[in-house]
Amino acid sequence: MVTAHGTTCQQRSVETTLQGLTDPAILGGADPAGPFAGPLVVTIGKTVSNRGKLNWWESRALYGWTVLVPRTKDQAGEMSERLTSYGALPVEVPTIAVEPPRSPAQMERAVKGLVDGRFQWVVFTSTNAVRAVWEKFGEFGLDARAFSGVKIACVGESTADRVRAFGISPELVPSGEQSSMGLLDEFPPYDSIFDPVNRVLLPRADIATETLAEGLRERGWEIEDVTAYRTVRAAPPPAATREMIKTGGFDAVCFTSSSTVRNLVGIAGKPHARTIIACIGPKTAETAAEFGLRVDVQPETAAVGPLVDALAEHAARLRAEGALPPPRKKSRRR
């Protein structure tokens, strides 16, 4: 048995005889993944017969897959780690950069309003919004006590986990669809008897849609819509990466927001038709469809972990059905 790239996500093995080692078709270019390249490990003897029982490394759901991770650089780590645990090779391509708002005045007024008790609710729609508010707290020497008497709602579990990391338990996280619409379905209408204040603080991105704000107003709430951060399109990836995206060099791509879809297409082009598209939630999937992408995977829970798990389950199902896309033959370097 000959093994190339041992212990890595690119590990490949082939069983052959000693005579077969001289056959160019075995170690040469017959494999769609390309020729075996060194260093190689050769295993000889009866132990090779145990490969079927012990080959857990190469049997993982996403083993050998190259998966595109279009996220901000500081947010890609969690997804990459989970993809690696399933045997995939993640390639991080930053598509957006998160920057502070052009003027800090809005956020400063919002934080002062929290301290003064002007808000009944704070609604967080992303982990970036949580981080932006917390950083502003730090500038003013505040901590979690500034949320005293204020209820907190989060659009999904990932955002809620970031809030919990600061020692705060959100009052509302959608139990069903984790999106703006899912949150609106469960958000209580304003009640002048039970709610002493009718204002909701909504810190979010500069490109956020009006769906959530309009829905809250329809429920009787006064909204203070604050730009907590700006999302800026990142620089295009290297030419080799753009070529892989367009020609099917990636087996899958995991989108975590509508902006990652728009920006990836804008800076690198649309993924090839053979590439499996995984979207974290319905809004992201809707945006992907608007760009003509076929959405193959969407988890029930809009979070990074369930997204990668759903992709792994999809790959395992396709493999069991013999329906995996044909491998893309790698070009040889001269």
In the predicted structure, residue 332 carries a pLDDT above the cut 50: no
> Which has the closest alpha carbon to 129: 263, 225, 31, 21?
225
Number of separate domains in the chain? 3
In this structure, what DSSP letter does residue 189 have? P
Same domain, residue pair 128 and 225: yes
pLDDT score at 201: 98
Confidence bin at 169 (pLDDT 50/70/90): very high
Contact 183, 153 (CB under 8 A): yes
pLDDT score at 55: 66
CA 124 remoteness from chain centre: 18
Residue 331 lies in a domain: no
CB neighbour list of residue 12: distance below 8 Å, 6 or more residues apart: 3, 4, 5, 31, 33, 36, 58, 64
Confidence bin at 53 (pLDDT 50/70/90): low
% residues pLDDT > 70 (the chain)? 87
Range list of H helices, the chain: 24-27, 51-54, 77-85, 105-116, 127-139, 157-164, 180-186, 211-218, 239-247, 258-268, 282-290, 304-321
Residue 173 lies in a domain: yes
Confidence bin at 295 (pLDDT 50/70/90): very high
CB neighbour list of residue 248: distance below 8 Å, 6 or more residues apart: 271, 272, 273, 274, 275, 325, 328
Helix (H) / strand (E) containing 199: strand 199-205
SS3 72: coil
In the predicted structure, residue 103 carries a pLDDT above the cut 50: yes
Q: Which of 217, 232, 247 is the last residue of a domain?
A: 232
In angstroms and rounded to an integer, the radius of gyration of the C-alpha atoms of the chain is 24
Confidence bin at 218 (pLDDT 50/70/90): very high
What digits encode the pLDDT tens for the residues 269-290? 999 999 999 999 898 999 999 9
Residue 334 lies in a domain: no
In the predicted structure, residue 56 carries a pLDDT above the cut 70: no
In the predicted structure, residue 54 carries a pLDDT above the cut 70: no
Confidence bin at 333 (pLDDT 50/70/90): very low
Same domain, residue pair 29 and 143: no
Contact 13, 2 (CB under 8 A): yes
Same domain, residue pair 103 and 175: yes
Confidence bin at 334 (pLDDT 50/70/90): very low
Residue 326 lies in a domain: no
Confidence bin at 216 (pLDDT 50/70/90): very high
Contact 119, 113 (CB under 8 A): yes
Residue 330 lies in a domain: no
Confidence bin at 11 (pLDDT 50/70/90): confident
Average pLDDT over the chain reads: 87
pLDDT score at 101: 93
The domain in which residue 24 lies consists of: 2-59
Q: What is the average pLDDT across 99-107?
A: 92
% residues pLDDT > 90 (the chain)? 62
Same domain, residue pair 252 and 224: no
Confidence bin at 48 (pLDDT 50/70/90): confident
pTM equals 0.67
Same domain, residue pair 191 and 151: yes
Same domain, residue pair 88 and 157: no
What digits encode the pLDDT tens for the residues 246-269? 999 999 999 998 889 999 999 999
Residue 149 lies in a domain: yes
